[in-house]
Amino acid sequence: MHHSSRGSSTSYRARLMWGLFGGLCLLGILLGPYPAQGELLKVGLLDEPKTLNPFAVKDIWAAKVLMSCYQRLYYRDYRSNKLIPWLAAGDPVWDPEDLTVTFRLREARWDDGSSFTAEDVIFTAGVIMKFRLPRYWNNWSFVEKIEALDPQTVRIWLKKPMAILWERTLTTFVVEKSKWEPLVQRAEEALYKALGAKEARGRALRVALAKPLEILTSFPNERPESLGPFTFQQWRKGSFIFLKRNENFFAKDMTFHGAPVGPYVDGILFKVFGNMDTAVLALKKGSIDYLWWGIESGYLDDLKKDPKIQIFSTLKSGYRYLAFNLRRPPLSDRVFRQAVAYLVDKDFLVQRILHGQAVTLDTVVPPDNTFYFNPHTPTYGKGLAWPERVKRARELLLRAGYRWAVEPLGGKIPGQFMTKGEGLTMPDGRPVKKMHLLTPPADYDAQRAQAGNMIQQWLRGFGIPIQWRPMSFGAMIKRVRAQQDFDMFVSGWGALGSDPDYLRSFFHSRSDRPKGRNSGGYHNPEFDNLADIQAETMDLQERRKIVLRLQEILMEDLPYIPLYVPINLEGVRKDRFRGWIQMTGGIGNLWSFLCIKPMK
């Protein structure tokens, strides 16, 4: 999961001018020469990977490319949305008495022709656990040991039951042991040199791991190995990455879990553009078949007129939210936060700022996560006209002891006030101090910036002295997470995944620390207790009941207000390929690359 990426920025007209003038020149450079080997799917990227080392991947572009090479034990079925065996040959067998999970592996070969075995799985897990790889360690920290019962059978022993075993541990990618073993041996030597015979914990262990981690993550991995449908062939920096169909792919031309899969294309050519203008122009010209990034609204009308282009619309995996610093009054008062919630008209934000390209959200689990999504959480002002919203918020505060010198009275439309509130004081008689609402700047994400500006207007008219303050995204995250020096901010989460344990990470009191994810300082003993229980509940139905209750608690307490889930709009050339698969987040997924077929 990550803080959501940037959105639209400068005006469409300005971007179009760049696309027509400088873009044509750049496009000529970017379009050739490329490998010409059969029927290629040409995919446009706005940037290129920082690395092709799976242990070091942090950027989304690397994840997009490596998806077709490094495979997982279990993968999500696009029809049922359930995890199904992928590299594993069947469902995992859980033994609650011994705290073990056992699974068989499928017969498969790496692209160099060598066999895939249990040793590859055990080796990958061992690297993560021994060196505590930052992005993956939490998913394996509760594992006691992992062993091969035979070349195709793996058993994992747990220190304690942890529900993320299903959605996270068993969906970890697998690397080829024979390729990575020499590098890992170098990292082990560095670790032994740092530790000697000592055992270390805490800071001492982090210091000892620094050099081994550098050895592992700095390796460029110029030719990734593959168990997947495509194999790496060539990377011309700044221009393209070429993957060729893997003739050793274990599911090639099979009916896999009821779905016939290929791949039916000879390869994938990832073309790097660097900006949206040139990428959209390439899509219109037919130089790419698919633009693997959300298309901004300014381009849509033009693209929709093109009979050769199809626009797919899918909810993103994540959401935007308004957060509070609960360490400061009056933000520390739940009643005050609920009053703010009445004043935030999510429907108006979606229509005015996102032009309808989003859905409002009233909980902290997005609706695409159908198993854990709670549609019955408390809501504030839903379906109410603006004057009634203002009235409900005013009455809430008055009952709690807040007072105005001049009470606010709402007008006909959101943000309009017949009478603006003035002189708001807290129940103890102290005036509400001036606060700031932080957002990224418009040139980073215009939607979040505009939402912050609009929320500021609503709150100021109500009598809450708040000032919108856009700042660089990096500076905002530093203020929020490291320094915890803020009042409110608008941000978002993306790539949350299907396991709801992120709720514990975001809101448990243990996470209230500098650089912790509980940046708002939320503390609720009932939430903490239930969050810990759900983490160790292996029965999914029982866990679901707890997660639904956690969402109710959070929407009563409102440590932050969920705003909306953006819609991801993607463009493809429908005259080139058919059979795209829509999943959460869009059509850029492994199933699409397995199932699409040329139109010819």
CA 569 to chain centre: 16
Q: Which residues contact 43 (CB under 8 A, 6 or more apart)?
A: 268, 269, 270, 271, 288, 289, 290, 291, 292, 588
Q: Where in the chain is the domain with CATH 3.90.76.10?
A: 74-211
Q: Where in the chain is the domain with CATH 3.10.105.10?
A: 318-567
CB atoms within 10 A of CB 356: 10
Which fold would CATH assign to domain 2-47+228-306+569-598? D-Maltodextrin-Binding Protein; domain 2 (3.40.190)
For residue 571, the surrounding DSSP H or E stretch is strand 560-573
Which fold would CATH assign to domain 74-211? Dipeptide-binding Protein; domain 1 (3.90.76)
Q: Supply the pLDDT for residue 10.
A: 40
Q: How far is CA 461 from CA 55, 111, 151, 466, in A?
A: 50, 64, 69, 10
DSSP string, 95-123: ETTTTEEEEEB---B-TTSPBP-HHHHHH
CATH code assigned to 318-567: 3.10.105.10
φ and ψ at residue 377, rounded to 5 degrees: -75, 160
Determine if residue 585 is left, alpha or beta; phi over 0 gives left, psi from -120 to 50 gives alpha, anything else beta. left
Is residue 537 within 8 Å of 298, Cβ to Cβ?
A: no
DSSP 586: B
Q: Where in the chain is the domain with CATH 3.40.190.10?
A: 2-47+228-306+569-598
Tens of pLDDT along the chain (600 residues) come to: 556 545 444 444 444 444 444 444 444 444 445 565 569 999 999 999 999 999 999 889 999 999 999 999 999 988 888 899 999 999 999 999 999 999 999 999 999 999 999 999 999 999 999 999 988 999 999 999 999 999 999 999 999 999 999 999 999 999 999 999 999 999 999 998 888 756 766 777 778 889 999 999 999 999 999 999 999 999 999 999 999 999 999 998 888 777 788 999 999 999 999 888 999 999 999 999 999 998 887 898 899 999 999 999 998 888 999 999 999 999 999 999 999 999 999 999 999 999 899 999 999 999 989 999 999 999 999 999 999 999 999 999 999 999 999 999 999 999 999 999 999 999 999 999 999 999 999 988 889 999 999 999 999 999 999 999 999 999 999 999 999 999 999 999 988 889 999 999 999 999 999 989 999 999 999 999 999 999 999 999 999 999 999 999 999 999 999 999 999 999 999 999 999 999 888 999 999 999 999 987
